[in-house]
Chain A
């Protein structure tokens, strides 16, 4: 009689542990999915930002010097995103991050540098709120500038939300049950995306 009780107790606890582990795996899946979605969103948002920058640079509403600065930074940002560093294609192989097996859309420093550079270029060009005001009085420029300003703000949001998801996943992955049982499987290494995304001062008043 007691043996049966013991066996029943063991079975019940095994089932309970199994359910708990499978629930943990579900949480991991969910948070990984959240990262994937957030990364795709961020990638799309960066494309829109560089696209809007290029459009403004080639619309003929800015002076040539600034148009050139913007076009250059936007091109560099788009090229780096495609994994084609545009400076020196036959560059030093030691710089190549090709040995990283977990390459996603974000391939590390190149992309982040290029995005930071674009943010800096935008800040330099649109530093003065009064001047931006002046610019938006041109009908054709207004729409482009407002659109670009919106994309700049959304890049900030998308990057935050991505890194927020990565932070959630890191906490969960650091759990002993996850590490010991390798519940995370072969999911990619977790990496936050870090670049300077501060929007131009001219696009908005003092941040709260």
Chain B
């Protein structure tokens, strides 16, 4: 196999955690593992070039916060950044440029403007509001015409893309390093006396469904003693704790915004992982992480989750936003160890296809198709 020189462009700073950044970092490492040479161009919030970033990262300069598409986006532009993008392209002499999220006002768009060779683009979002996207489609189209191959990370990202820009993108999902998660250490000190439930997600973002989880926990603890809920995710913990009924406070452990390793340990320690998200998910990478950790999954029946769980084969689904359905399903699962083990076992086998070793291979096949 030919060794490729790959230039990855990440629109967001790598020292800020986030889905796209994780994807780019994991992909870069997987490609390097396969023997390709990789350079990642990313904005850097820290002006100093020695910001403790991995050696394959080239900083493109700072990002400015600007309102875009209903929220605040951190965007890099201006002559300094444009100059660095051109220099990076010239010095890298890449076989293929791989942009991430090029349909936003970002570094990726600047790189696309300056790029000349084959360009691969991965689209992550599926939450683009239609009106904003339709308006920007006209502006984006001349640039996006230069893209040789388009990848969407989920069926929903793909649908959004097709709806606004047409064409036939391919779907290659988000990945995880299955073995890293599977071999994380369980933490006995986090476990409840009789059962442990894990929740992952920001506690103050309603769509993540912490409120649904908390109300279900009331019912669960009424029917079963010694249940503990592990909460992994940022947000105002003081406020969340004081909003809980007194009776529940001892049942909930807030771990705050945990790193990858801590998150994996929490999932490894759990008898059940619950994803009560009420919507707005395009894929559900946490479900995949839970599957890799061997935690049986109980998730709300929203299209993205239904897809990952293959209609319930790799995890159980409950009615979205319903604490009572969540509670009764959770209790049933906690009672039935055999069923939990069966779900976890099926999931562990299926989750392999989300491993970076598999996905990086698929992405390299895309590169090989477009490289001349």
A binds B: yes
Q: List 18 A-B contacts (CB under 8 A).
A: A27-B142, A27-B145, A30-B146, A31-B145, A34-B148, A37-B148, A37-B372, A154-B368, A154-B369, A157-B149, A157-B365, A160-B149, A161-B168, A161-B369, A164-B169, A165-B148, A168-B145, A208-B172
Distance A208 CA – B145 CA, assembled complex (angstroms): 26
Interface string of B256-293 (1 = CB under 8 A from A): 00000000000000000000000000000000000000
Complex CA distance for A37 and B368, rounded to whole angstroms: 13
A contact set with B: CB distance below 8 Å? 27, 30-31, 34, 37-38, 41, 45, 150, 153-154, 156-158, 160-161, 163-165, 167-168, 171-172, 205-206, 208
Asked whether, in the complex, the Cβ of B365 is within 8 Å of the Cβ of A150, the reply is: yes
In this assembly, does B170 line the interface, its C-beta being within 8 Å of a C-beta of chain A? yes
* Distance between Cα atoms of A169 and B77 in the complex (Å): 29
- Closest B residue by C-beta to A172: B145
B370 interfacial by beta-carbon distance below 8 Å: yes
Within 8 A of A (CB), among B156-184: 166-173
Residue of A nearest to B144 (CB): A168
Residues of A within 8 A of B353 (CB): 205-206, 208
Q: Verify B166–A167 contact, CB threshold 8 A.
A: yes
Of chain A, the residue at the smallest CB distance from B353 is: A205
CB-nearest residue of chain B to A34:
B148
Bound complex: CA A157 to CA B339 (Å): 39
Complex Cα distance, B362 from A122, in Å, reads 20
Cα–Cα, bound, A167→B165 (Å): 9
Q: Cβ of A157 and Cβ of B310 under 8 Å apart?
A: no
B141 within 8 A of A: yes
Q: How far is the CA of A3 from the CA of B362 in the complex (A)?
A: 64
In the bound assembly, the distance between CA atoms of A41 and B372 in angstroms comes to: 8
CA gap between A27 and B145 in the complex, in Å: 8
Least Cβ–Cβ distance between B362 and chain A, in angstroms = 8
A156 to B171, CA, bound (A): 12
A160 to B167, CA, bound (A): 8
Interchain CB contact (< 8 A) of A208 among B167, B171, B365: B171
Interchain CA distance A161-B370 in the complex, whole Å: 9
Tell me if B228 counts as interface (CB < 8 A to partner A): no
Known: A157-B366, A163-B167, A205-B352; 8 extra A-B contacts, CB below 8 A, are A154-B365, A154-B369, A161-B168, A164-B167, A164-B168, A168-B145, A172-B141, A172-B145
Asked whether, in the complex, the Cβ of A158 is within 8 Å of the Cβ of B369, the reply is: yes
User: Known contacts A153-B365, A161-B370; is A206 also within 8 Å of B145 by CB?
Assistant: no
On chain B, the residues within 8 Å of A160 by CB distance are 149, 168-170
Q: Cβ of B310: which chain A residues have Cβ within 8 Å of it?
A: 206
Cα A167 to Cα B164 in complex, Å, equals 12
Return B62 CB to nearest CB of chain A, in Å.
Answer: 31
Complex CA–CA separation, A172 to B169 (angstroms)? 18
- Flag if A30 contacts B365 (CB, 8 Å): no
Q: Which residues of B contact A37 (CB under 8 A)?
A: 148, 372
User: Do B145 and A30 touch across chains, with their CB atoms under 8 A apart?
Assistant: yes
Greatest chain B CB density within 10 A among A158, A172, A205, A208 is at: A208
| A41 & B173 in contact (Cβ 8 Å cutoff) | no
Residues of A within 8 A of B350 (CB): 205-206
Instruction: Select A168's contact among B167, B352, B369, beta carbons within 8 Å.
Output: B167
Q: How far apart sit A150 and B354, CA to CA, in the bound complex (Å)? A: 18
**Other-chain residue from B150, B352, B354, B362 in contact with A164 (beta carbon distance below 8 A):** B150
Q: Are B369 and A45 in contact (CB under 8 A)?
A: yes
Residues 117-147 of chain B: 1 if any A CB is under 8 Å from the residue's CB, otherwise 0? Answer: 0000000000000000000000001101110
Residues of A within 8 A of B362 (CB): 153
Partner of A163, one of B142, B144, B168, B366: B168
Please indicate which of the listed interface residues B144, B148, B167 has the most CB atoms of chain A within 10 Å of its own CB: B167
Q: How far is the CA of A163 from the CA of B166 in the complex (A)?
A: 10
